[in-house]
Amino acid sequence: MREPFLSIETHRADATDAPGDALDRLRRGDLGAIVLRDVFDPDCLARLPAELAINTPGFVRTEFPPAFHAYFYGINLNLADPDLTPYFAAEPAFRRSLAGLDVGGVPAEQRICDLLSRLDRDRPYAPAPGPAPGQRHFFTTIRAHRTGGYIPAHFDNEAAARPTYRHVAALCEPGIYSFVLCIDPAEAGGALEVFNVTSREAAQAFRNRDHAGHKRDLASVEKVAIRLEAGEMVLLHSSRYLHGVSPVEGTRTRWTMCSFMALSRNSLRGYCWG
């Protein structure tokens, strides 16, 4: 029987036997994805969708292109203006709001960075620093996909194409990986779809240009759909594998927290950015 193209390991977030080399193997390509259960208690997350819907924390809000029926809190480096002055000016307020978000104990940034470190030989993880002293990139963005909301198939190998990535590209190794943390799933749909297509084969054909448009028909391409429940997180080598989010079905908004990551040039630490 043919082995699946995407090897996935699943672990409980606080399991004492979670492998410390998991992210090394993900970056090498020996492992396709990692799913962590119980990152946050679903009961503690249950109150967040109502608070996020009216933006009780006061996050800066940014719109996805209209075709994608989505918006997010924070500023995504992919969609930021090349003049990153507003990006870095808005980050401290977002950081404070995120730290005040009640996720049931340890603040979200600390909890996630601690878990990433444990899976990566205890390398420290933190938001990527900015070009000026005291500046840092957004640790994450919080994404809301409404009915019909989706993300088209793409690779996250954006460093060479976007002027907003010049500083991050100088700091980091080129292999970008990412996490998606589920705050509240959609009623149906809204799955992370990973296709059996790699950037080595098709990077230019699926370059993310932030608008809906004609791309290769993927209906016959082998894929894996990863649907997370509240409190679960997936880690994917997202610059290697073609991936997207299937359209959200039903009336419930799909809420997730998402970040890009890469190792520093000296491989001593991991950097995250929204």
Q: What is the pLDDT of residues 170-226, one digit of tens each?
A: 999 989 999 999 999 999 999 999 999 997 765 455 555 545 455 567 888 999 999
**Any domain includes 93:** yes
Helix (H) or strand (E) holding 141: strand 141-145
**Any domain includes 21:** yes
Residue 227: the pLDDT is 96
CATH of the domain at 55: 2.60.120.620
Q: Are strands 192-198 and 223-226 parallel, antiparallel or unpaired?
A: antiparallel
**Any domain includes 2:** no
**Any domain includes 1:** no
pLDDT over threshold 60, residue 31? yes
Residues 105-120: tens digit of each pLDDT: 899 999 999 999 999 9
Q: Are strands 270-273 and 125-127 parallel, antiparallel or unpaired?
A: parallel
**Any domain includes 113:** yes
Residue 3: the pLDDT is 64
d(CA 162, CA 170): 13
H helical segments located in 54-103: 85-99
Residues 239-252: tens digit of each pLDDT: 999 999 999 999 99
Residue 4 per-residue DSSP state? P
pLDDT over threshold 80, residue 83? yes
d(CA 134, CA 206): 36
Residue 17: the pLDDT is 81
pLDDT band of residue 96 (cuts 50, 70, 90) is very high
The tokens for 191 are 């799955």
**Any domain includes 125:** yes
Least confident range from 1-10, 15-24, 146-155: namely 1-10
Residues 130-180: tens digit of each pLDDT: 999 999 999 999 999 999 999 999 898 766 678 999 999 999 998 999 999
Residue 219 per-residue DSSP state? T
Looking at the structure of the chain, the number of domains it has is 1
**Any domain includes 205:** yes
Residues 66-78: tens digit of each pLDDT: 999 999 999 999 8
Residues 6+ apart with CB under 8 A from 26: 32, 33, 34, 177, 235, 236, 237
pLDDT band of residue 15 (cuts 50, 70, 90) is confident
Q: Can you give the residue range of the structural domain that contains 264?
A: 8-213+222-273
**Any domain includes 3:** no
Residue 214: the pLDDT is 52
d(CA 147, CA 186): 9
The contacts found for 166-171 with CB under 8 angstroms, 24 or more apart, are: 167/84, 167/128, 167/130, 167/131, 168/77, 168/128, 168/137, 168/262, 168/271, 168/273, 170/265, 171/128, 171/129, 171/264, 171/265, 171/271
- Residue pair 193/225 in contact by the 8 Å Cβ criterion: yes
